[in-house]
Every structure is written in C-alpha cells, then in structure tokens.
Amino acid sequence: MNDTRIRLIRLGFTMLFAVVALRLFWIQVVQAPGLRAKAQAQSRMRQLLSAPRGAIVDCDGAVLAADGVSGREWPSGPVALPILGMVGRDGSGLMGLEYAFDKDLRSVPGWKVARRTARGGAWPSFEGEGSGPRQGLTVVTTLRLGLQSEVEKILAEAVKDHDAKGGVALVMEAATGDVVAAASLPAPASRADMARGRVDAGLVHRTYEPGSTFKAITLASALENQQITLDSRFNVGLSFDPGDGSQHIRDSHPHPGVFSALWCFQQSSNVCFSQIALRLGQERLYRTARDLGFGTPSGLGLPGEEAGLLRTVDNWTARSLPTLAIGQEVSVTPMQLASAYAALANKGVLMRPRLVKALVDEHGDTVERMDPRPVRQAVSGKTASQVLRAMAMVVDSGTGSLATVPGVRILGKTGTSQKVNVATNKYFQDRFMASFVGIIDLDRRPVVCLVVLDDPTRAGHTGGLAAAPAFARIARFAVDDPTGPWGAGAVDSRGTLQTWLSRGRKQMTDSVPLAIEKAGSEAPG
C-alpha cells in the first residue's frame, strides 16, 4: 500500500512538472515573439516628427512667407500678399503661390521610437530607430523685396491722389520675363482679409480694355506686314466714319492735317490709327495680337488666370477693325500687356512671364530650376526697333512727357479707355481706365513697367496725367535700387542659398551699381 501511494505521488509530481515544462515551453518558445512585441509596445512608443512648410522668398533670399510660432507668417510684412496667397488650417495652400506650389512647399513628417516612462511619456535620452522629417522646399521667386515694397507704396499713393477705385502696377525684365514687382489695389492687409477671400492678384485676374496702349500692337502689325512705314502720311480729319452707320471715331484733341504715322502714334490719334487699320486688314491685326500673347493666358503660373478677350475675325463687325486698332473691343490682363511690350523691348521675342525661378531644399541646394522660356518670335527685330523709336517720341514730346526720368532713356505709351457699363453694354462717358506702359532702358537690360488706375476722378483721368507720374517714380527707384543688377540671387549652383538659410534667412544684397544710359534734355510737362 505504501509503495502504491509513493508511485502515485511520483506520478503526480511528474505530471505537474510536465505541465509546468509544457507551460514554460509555450510561454518561452511559442508565445515569446508575441510577448516580446507586447512588452516593447508597453515600454516603447512611436513618435511623429514634424517639419516646417517650405518658405517663399524673393530672388535674393528675403523671406516673404514662412512657418512661425503661430502658423504661417510673413516676416517682411504684408508685402505681395495677393501673389503669395494663404494656407488653410490643415496646412494646405489655398491661394496664390501657396496653392500653385503646395506639393513642393509641404513637408514630409518623420517618426522615431522612444522608450516609455512609467508615466507614459517619452524617455528623453533614448533614441531608437526611425526616419527623419523632411522640410518643405523653398520657393525662390523673381520678386525683389525692396522694389516690391516701393511699387506697392507708389501705387497706393497714386490711387489716393487721384481718388481711384483701385489699380495695378507691375515691373518685369524684358529679356527673361521675370516679374520683379507686382501690386494691386484693393488688396488684403491681414490674414483676416485673406480668409474673407479678399485675394486678387490683379496682374492676371483683372481684365480691362487697354485703349491707346494697344496702338503699339497695331503699329507693330502694320510695320511687320509692310503696310506702312513710320514716315507714311495720313490725312487726319476731325473724325473717322467706320462705315456701319454707327458713331464716328474721334480724337480727344482734334488736330486736322496731314501727318506721318510716327506723329500719329506720338499724339495717339484715333482717327489716324483707324485708317492704318484699314490698310492692315482684319487677319493681319488679329494674327499679330495673338502672336504677342493676347486672348490666351500668359502662363505666369498663378491659379485662376484670365485669358482676356480677343474674338476671332469671324465674330467681328464692320466696326471691329478700327476700334480694335485703338484698343476697344478687346480686353487684356496687365500681365498680357506688359508681356507684349516686353517682347518689343526684347527684339520681338515673346517670353513666358516667370514668377518662380527655383525650388531649393533645406541645405540650400537647387532641386528644380525654372529657366527663362521663349514662346515665339512675335515680330521681327527690325519691327520691334521701329516701334521702340515711336515709343521714345511719345515720352520725348508726346502724350507721355510726365513719364520722364532725367538721365534715363524712357520709352512708353499712354492709354485712356472708357469703362463699359455692364447694365447697358455701352461706354461710360465719365469713367475711365488710365494707364501708362513704359520701357526703362537699364544698361541694355530693358525693364517694362505698367501702371493702371481704375476710374481716377481727381487731378486728371488720362494715362498721361494719372498713370505716367507713378511710372516715373517707380522707374526712378528701379534705377537707383542698390540691390541690382536684376536677378542678382543665383540659385543654379550647389549651396548658394546656404548663407541665408544658416543666418535666419536674412536678405542678401549685391551692391553692384546699375549703369545708367545718359539721355538728352526731356520735354517739360
């Protein structure tokens, strides 16, 4: 009996040990991977690592928009806000360059694994595996902060002085198509204004009838197609009958007589240019206008760009040819008009306007470069040279004398167009768009500047009286700008922007002075 009991006890202990062994095997072998993973999950934690959205800077590295303590900030103040646009609460771009380059500006978050403390926080000294975050790319624009600020100031003062409803001013380099400054009013002054949708980059979003500034396109077409020369003579009467029984075309300041095409352009004669249009014909004028970029978006890259209005010839009436020749029955954006004049200053070559010239990573290395891009040879170099000669006469002794800048060769054209009453589809007799578009001849690197004032009602409503003086102020500042020459910020080689990145993105300047071509005495006025 005792032996039986002992055997049963031994068997019980053996079974117990077997169960314990099996349990240990199950835990240590079968369940080990899962238990280890569970232990790691309880003692380690995965952390997301954020990185800032890329900055938007001017051509020399001055920061225009960047992430800050309270979100997206503008270290240089509310400069160029209609162009920069805004960022939503989720960090995505909503308008302007912030929207157009959102995928490049966006950062890529990283992650790391840290050991968890008893209280559930991250152990500060523990660094586990992970992937570092990637900061968004920096968008390098063609804008020049100093000139941009001055253009905004001058435009605001011109709008105020002439009690206008608003206006647009832009400056671009003819040879590259670089937009170096662009302002529009009314404009947002704060984040709250932008959130309410008050963002309108007037250079591509507003259209208007260009009036007499379009005569440069008519003149270029007539010269290009050898229908006239600058010396061709025209009998300029008191009015021109378009032949459809409608109202006659007249000059603001009638001066009957026989005059050259050059004089007609200099004095901006509607009667004369109506006659030039008849010699030219519909197809030729339409083709030149299209070649110079009218009727199609300029390709600047800002979202929502307007194409303007240039109807095909089959939609013209008998009156369309002479009225188009003087800048009616056609609508343009300021960008389109400035680009066309830039083509004339660039030996007839139309350039695609450029607002962004590079994308740069956080180390200052160029990831992508947007080179200047020719679109087409719109008119011959000879034709462009002849139009420039006529434009010089406008400033020397014509309607644009107030655009004069002493010591600098200025070429340009005035424009005064009647606004259209959308309710009646007829022209207002007392509401106008006043404009001046000119070329600043800076050491063989011509710069185009356009100023447009919407409905000026005080101290003159014409392009020569309201817009030309503002142009002259902008041109004078551009000539004296100490950060020249144009496009001084080089972003084409490795590490060129590392300096401002490592120094808090401070603005770099180039003190090379601009060479100024001397000119003779300008006509007073």
* DSSP output for 346-372: TTTEEEEPBSEEEEE-TTS-EEEE---
Give the up-direction half-sphere exposure of residue 166: CA atoms within 13 A in the CB hemisphere: 13
Q: What is the CA radius of gyration of the chain?
A: 33
Question: Residue 367 burial by CB count (10 A; 0-12/13-18/19+): exposed, middle or buried?
Answer: exposed
Does residue 28 or residue 405 have the better pLDDT? Answer: 405
C-alpha to C-alpha distance for 354 and 333, rounded to whole angstroms: 16
CB neighbours of residue 365 within 10 Å: 14
Q: For residue 60, how many other CB atoms are within 10 A of its CB?
A: 22
Q: Is pLDDT at 342 greater than 50 in this prediction?
A: yes
What's the pLDDT score for residue 193? 74
The reported pTM is 0.82
Q: What values do phi and psi take at 79, rounded to 5? A: -90, 130
Alpha carbons 267 and 398: distance in angstroms, whole number: 6
pLDDT at 445 over 80: yes
Instruction: Please say whether the beta carbons of 149 and 62 come within 8 A.
Output: no
Taking a C-beta distance cutoff of 8 angstroms, is the pair 440, 428 a contact?
no
pLDDT digits (tens, 9 = 90+) for 481-509: 766 654 334 444 344 444 444 544 433 32
Contacts of 354 (CB under 8 A, 6+ apart): 142, 176, 177, 178, 179, 300, 370, 372, 373
pLDDT in tens, 371-428: 999 999 999 999 999 999 999 999 999 999 999 999 999 999 999 998 888 888 888 8
Spacing of C-alpha 75 from chain mean position: 20
- What local confidence, expressed as pLDDT, does residue 131 receive? 65
pLDDT at 197 over 60: yes
332 has pLDDT over 80: yes
Q: Which two tokens stand for residue 500?
A: 């401002």
CA distance 398 to 522: 11
Mean pLDDT lowest for which of 176-180, 452-456, 485-489?
485-489
The arithmetic mean of pLDDT across residues 120-137, rounded, is: 66
